[in-house]
């Protein structure tokens, strides 16, 4: 599955260029090591964790971190602050960030 980096509004938000279906999920599961690294970077605060899960469900149709497309996970690991910014803009658009 290919992804595109959307920088039109100055954000570094990765948008899927193809839809993510459950049949793809079986082939595209992340390794436990990658999921653990993602959780270490993004986890900690229960509210933030819930916002991350909501965001990946809405943007990538992934029910949890293991189903996140690999290309997205790579970009999140490279730039976790940009990803968290996109998460907060998505889940709390009324709050300036």
pLDDT tens column, 29-75: 888 888 888 888 887 788 888 999 999 999 999 988 888 888 988 99
pLDDT value, residue 54? 93
pLDDT tens column, 4-27: 445 455 555 555 544 545 555 455
Residue 3 has pLDDT above 50, yes or no: no
Structure tokens at 13: 């938000």
Is 97 within 8 Å of 89 (Cβ atoms)?
Answer: yes
Average pLDDT score over the chain: 76
Residues in Cβ contact with 97 at an 8 Å cutoff, skipping those fewer than 6 apart: 85, 88, 89
> What's the pTM value of the predicted model, to 2 decimals?
0.65
């Amino acid at each position: 599955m290919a992804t595109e980096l959307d920088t039109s509004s100055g954000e570094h938000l990765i948008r899927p260029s193809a839809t993510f279906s459950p049949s793809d999920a079986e082939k595209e599961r992340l390794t436990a090591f990658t999921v653990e690294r993602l959780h270490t970077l993004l986890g900690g605060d229960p509210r933030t964790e819930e916002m991350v899960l909501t965001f990946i469900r809405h943007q990538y149709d992934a029910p949890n971190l293991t189903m996140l497309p690999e290309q997205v996970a790579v970009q999140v690991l490279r730039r976790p602050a940009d990803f968290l910014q996109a998460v907060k803009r998505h889940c709390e658009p009324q709050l300036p960030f």
